[in-house]
A and B are shown apart, each in its own frame.
Chain A
Amino acid sequence: MRARSIRGMGTLATAAALATVASACSAPGEGDSGAAATSAVVGIAYEPETLSPLLGFGKDGNSKIFDGLLTHDADLKLKPALATALPKVSDDGRTYTYALREGVKFSDGKPFTAKDVVFTYETILDEKTNNPSKGELDAIESVEAKGDDTVVFRLKYPYAPFAERTVLPIAPEHMAGGQDVNTGTFGSNPVGTGPYKLAKWSKGEQLVLEANSGYWGGPPKIERFTMAIIKDDDVRATRLRSGDLDGAILPPNLAKAFQGSGQKTYAAKSFDYRTVTLPTGNKVTGNTAVRRALDIAVDRKAMVDGILEGAGKVAHGPVPTDSEWFTEGTERTYDPKKARTLLDAAGWKPGKDGIRVKDGVRASFPLWYVSGDKLRQDHALAYASDAKKIGVEVEVQAGTWEVIEPRMPKDAVLAGGGSPADPDFDQYPLLRSDLAGDGFNNMGWYDNATVDRALKTGRESGDPAERKAAYDTVQRELVKNPGYTFLTHIDHLYVVDDRFGDLSTQVEPHDHGLAAGPWWNVEDWRP
């Protein structure tokens, strides 16, 4: 930071030198941001630490600079990208074979081959690679190239959603192979096969993408796509209003102000849920009657209307109500009266202060949320207020993850998550009893043998009907014994200039990637 104390003549000299250097590398005539419809500038809130897929960039697909073997269409169905078709899966579900597209080149002109695929997966799985998401590839036993155009994955166990994991971007071995994977220049100067090339990344300021004219899928019409990195919501809204940006992600209250002003607002549906963990190790939250009472005592609709200003929907489980995986009939209606009856019947009687007591245990527990997260705070407070009405005391407390983590076995946490690609991705780590307390997996220490079995079937079976039945079982069990109180699914709001026409959004996960929002398919925009 801070060589900024150089003053007096030093200051002038530095400033002058900088100005000279800066002007020396400029080309006259360039530098016009231009309102032409061949370029777009959007404001995003989050900047990736790295653009290297080997360190986790773009792991859920759609990374713009890179392609995976497969990718998602608008409805989140898998379709081939660097592969020519969806993979051939062996009968035991443990061998996946991909045929690769021929003639694909990286944006530096070098050909893409099966070796790059093997390199990418093996590097991520390497112990020395600091990729925090590598656990998602846990099923892989080996990955092997057969010639230049075929790749074969062998799995340790049958894993039905494995194809979803192969949307992971492929890095070129000839570029990324020769350097330190964790700190090398590839992370800030990436080369891929995708529709865009990185033109410039000024960290903390902007990321500029330029159309890859040699893209195998045809060159994009939007020739220059800039993502301005603006962390503060108000600043982003201000710069959108000043015309500096063509689009931006905004929180609901700020997005509302843009209605009917030459911009369109898009609400991307998501799997992004907020839930309260009810740890089994706590005498109150571990009690099934209390869990069920809380489940029907929370006014989810009021949370959607009040906290989310309508931009979201009620959640009855990890699966959103409009997903094809949702189990009809598992909706819970708001019924505090029934909740009270339930608690009365289970022997939780109101004490002197109105808080229920059973066998000397007060119906009271702490609920933590990550400090600084307004949305989680609001959810936690609403939850506590609803619980109070049925005689359960919830003490809302804020802290960092470092403070919260050691308390997770006993205290409730306002958690978030959500991954739309496959129900296994969310539910297996969230509900499997043998993953309880493993890192941030199964934070509620949920323990239900029926659910465990169903999760295994859902993961291993290659038969879609059997899988659907398994996840139906999980959702029905969550009604009988809810180890979490699911509250809402949150819409992500984007405002984009009209001149780009009608755009679409994908169903989005909990994480906000770079390529989420209406610009998920910017390469297909035809303004």
Chain B
Amino acid sequence: MARLAGRRALFAVPVLGIVTFGVFAIAAASPFDPVKAYAGTAGLSASQDTLDQLRANLGADEPLVTRWWNWLTSAVQGDLGDSSALRQPVADVIAERVGWSVLLASAAFLVAVLLGGLLGVLAARRPGGWTDRAVTSLAYTLEAAPPFWLGLLVMWFFALKLGVLPAGGLTDTGTTVVTADQVVRHLVLPASVLALSQLPWFVLYVRQGVGDALQEDPVRGARARGLAERTVLLGHALRSGMLPVLTLIGSRVPELITGALLVETVFSWPGIAAATVEAATAVDFPLLAALTVLATIAVLVGNLLADLLYGLADPRVGFDG
């Protein structure tokens, strides 16, 4: 296990280097001008002198490679630079927001995995039965529903019609303290929407995996031996049916991130998604690069975890493979 993790960590170094360079290159090639973005509406009445001064101060006239190298060398030494879009150090931006995004995403992911697994197994039990049909059509419907729209819908229903849950924000608007019960209440709707948007994929994969496993010899053998249906389903079929799901979990991370982006916007959730959009459109190199590194690490760690879990779930799979 340690060897696998170690090898992956080594592999991550060049990957991160290439990814950050890619970010700088793409941003430099984009038509967005960092100076215009920085100045905002004030830039529309600014003289050329002021704009030139800004360009020099922001270092926006340096060549791409220089900028990337400067960023990289100071980042390695622990200085992530200053965000031009948010007028504060990048480390502060991330520290302020990342926790809330992790909380939202992990809560949603947990719900999606548990609920998706449960529904998938239920559907796989009798392919073509009414449970199966109901679950799969629900999954396809959800797959087609954009998270943004879903967000507005649940907000309208739960906040407006029923008035049981808050419509947005991290805490009640107007308070300055963050209490756990408030955060939990405010988390329910955004996390549910995010979970729902991730759900179809889990449901369909688990259904397929478990369904296939039910047709395999070991399961048929177990049934023939007269083992209880529950043992067969959970002990045998789910275990081998979950394997492909585990591997693909890692690849879901990017989609979880894009999903969170929309959900955070709809619910005014003070996470890091909004900062990412701002960083991108403002050509805020330091922030954009740091966020991309985080996202890349997230994907790499996701894949690593999936592989480790795979090994644990099926002893036949070694860690050196």
Q: Which residues of A contact B (CB under 8 A)?
A: 1-8, 11-12, 14-15, 18-20, 22-23, 25-27, 30-34, 39, 41, 49-50, 52, 55-56, 127-128, 130, 132-135, 138, 180, 182-183, 185, 187-188, 199-200, 202-206, 208, 210, 224, 226, 228-232, 234-235, 238-239, 241-245, 400-403, 417, 429, 435, 438-441, 510-511
A238 with B152: in contact, given A15-B103, A245-B173 (CB under 8 Å)? yes
Excluding A2-B291, A18-B99, 17 further A-B contacts by CB distance (< 8 Å) are: A1-B101, A4-B104, A4-B105, A5-B299, A14-B102, A26-B177, A32-B175, A39-B174, A41-B173, A127-B53, A135-B45, A182-B82, A183-B83, A202-B270, A203-B97, A239-B159, A435-B47
A200 — which chain B residues lie within 8 A by C-beta? 176
Asked whether, in the complex, the Cβ of B268 is within 8 Å of the Cβ of A205, the reply is yes
A41 with B96: in contact, given A2-B295, A229-B268 (CB under 8 Å)? no
By beta carbon, the residue of chain B nearest A208 is B176
> Complex: how many Å from CA A226 to CA B173?
7
Asked whether, in the complex, the Cβ of A2 is within 8 Å of the Cβ of B180, the reply is no
A-B contact count (CB 8 A): 259
Minimal beta-carbon separation of B192 from chain A (angstroms): 15
Asked whether, in the complex, the Cβ of A52 is within 8 Å of the Cβ of B46, the reply is no
Asked whether, in the complex, the Cβ of A22 is within 8 Å of the Cβ of B301, the reply is no
> Complex: how many Å from CA A15 to CA B104?
9
The listed residue (B31, B53, B167, B291) touching A403 by CB distance below 8 A is B31
Asked whether, in the complex, the Cβ of B172 is within 8 Å of the Cβ of A33, the reply is yes
A127 — which chain B residues lie within 8 A by C-beta? 53, 57
A33 — which chain B residues lie within 8 A by C-beta? 172-175
> Complex: how many Å from CA A178 to CA B53?
22
By beta carbon, the residue of chain A nearest B151 is A235
Interchain residue pairs with CB less than 8 A apart (13):
A1-B97, A1-B273, A2-B98, A5-B302, A15-B106, A41-B174, A49-B87, A50-B87, A133-B42, A135-B49, A205-B269, A402-B33, A439-B45
Asked whether, in the complex, the Cβ of A11 is within 8 Å of the Cβ of B253, the reply is no
Asked whether, in the complex, the Cβ of B174 is within 8 Å of the Cβ of A11, the reply is no
Minimal beta-carbon separation of B117 from chain A (angstroms): 13
> Complex: how many Å from CA A27 to CA B175?
11
Asked whether, in the complex, the Cβ of A235 is within 8 Å of the Cβ of B155, the reply is yes
Number of interface residues of B (CB under 8 A): 96
Asked whether, in the complex, the Cβ of B50 is within 8 Å of the Cβ of A235, the reply is no
> Complex: how many Å from CA A224 to CA B163?
24
B49 — which chain A residues lie within 8 A by C-beta? 135
> Complex: how many Å from CA A30 to CA B181?
12
A417 — which chain B residues lie within 8 A by C-beta? 44-45
Minimal beta-carbon separation of B90 from chain A (angstroms): 9
Cβ of B64 under 8 Å from chain A: no
Mask, B159-183, CB within 8 Å of A = 1, is 1100100111111111111111111
> Complex: how many Å from CA A32 to CA B57?
45
> Complex: how many Å from CA A230 to CA B119?
35
By beta carbon, the residue of chain A nearest B308 is A8
Asked whether, in the complex, the Cβ of B183 is within 8 Å of the Cβ of A7, the reply is no
Cβ of B235 under 8 Å from chain A: no
- Which of A187, A206, A210 gathers most chain B CB within 10 Å? A206
Asked whether, in the complex, the Cβ of A25 is within 8 Å of the Cβ of B177, the reply is yes
By beta carbon, the residue of chain A nearest B148 is A232
A511 with B177: in contact, given A2-B298, A183-B88, A205-B169 (CB under 8 Å)? no
Asked whether, in the complex, the Cβ of B86 is within 8 Å of the Cβ of A238, the reply is no
Asked whether, in the complex, the Cβ of B88 is within 8 Å of the Cβ of A5, the reply is no
By beta carbon, the residue of chain B nearest A227 is B173
B5 — which chain A residues lie within 8 A by C-beta? none
Within 8 A of A (CB), among B71-113: 82-89, 96-99, 101-107, 109-110
